[in-house]
């Protein structure tokens, strides 16, 4: 079974402060991990995936297989980063199919 845990429901930081949104996963195979973001009144959208190793909007995430973690980081938070962030894992759900399992999300609030 695959599981994604985001331990913080709410994270408040001041503008300009570093941000780290935690994500831990449980999966027996080789995981494919994503971060999705949902801004207020908008649809869920992909922020980044571990396989591309890119930085989007200043956010980065490194897959640590030893700690089974995929924490999302940004050195300097901006007010427009305030949103709901979901960590997700894509793993095999059966023969030839994959399932995206989401964590329960962390609401990031950036205080001006």
Partner 1 sequence: DSGVTQTPKHLITATGQRVTLRCSPRSGDLSVYWYQQSLDQGLQFLIQYYNGEERAKGNILERFSAQQFPDLHSELNLSSLELGDSALYFCASSVAGQGAYEQYFGPGTRLTVT
Are 93 and 27 a contacting pair, CB within 8 Å?
no
Determine the Cα–Cα distance for residues 48 and 96; give it in Å rounded to an integer. Answer: 24
56 lines the binding site for partner 1 (CB under 8 A): no
| CA 47 distance to own-chain centroid | 8
46 lines the binding site for partner 1 (CB under 8 A): yes
CB of 51 to partner 1, least distance (A): 8
Number of residues that bind partner 1 (CB under 8 A): 23
Span near partner 1 by CB under 8 A; candidates 14-22, 60-68, 74-82, 85-93: 85-93
Q: Which is nearer to partner 1, 14 or 30 (CB)?
A: 30
CB of 43 to partner 1, least distance (A): 5
Are 44 and 57 a contacting pair, CB within 8 Å?
no
Span near partner 1 by CB under 8 A; candidates 15-23, 38-46, 58-66, 72-80: 38-46
Tell how strand 72-74 and strand 60-61 pair up. antiparallel
28 lines the binding site for partner 1 (CB under 8 A): no
Give 107: exposed, middle or buried? Use CB within 10 Å, 0-12, 13-18, 19+: middle
């Amino acid at each position: 079974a695959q599981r994604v845990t985001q331990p913080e429901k709410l994270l408040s930081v001041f503008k300009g402060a570093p941000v780290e949104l935690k994500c831990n996963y449980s999966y027996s195979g080789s995981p494919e991990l994503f971060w999705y973001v949902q801004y207020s009144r908008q649809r869920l959208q992909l922020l980044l995936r571990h396989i591309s190793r890119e930085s989007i909007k200043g956010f980065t995430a490194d897959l640590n297989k030893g700690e089974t973690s995929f924490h999302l980081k940004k050195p300097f938070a901006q007010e427009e980063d305030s949103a709901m962030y979901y960590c997700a894992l894509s793993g095999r759900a059966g023969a030839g199919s994959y399932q995206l399992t989401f964590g329960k999300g962390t609401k990031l609030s950036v205080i001006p």
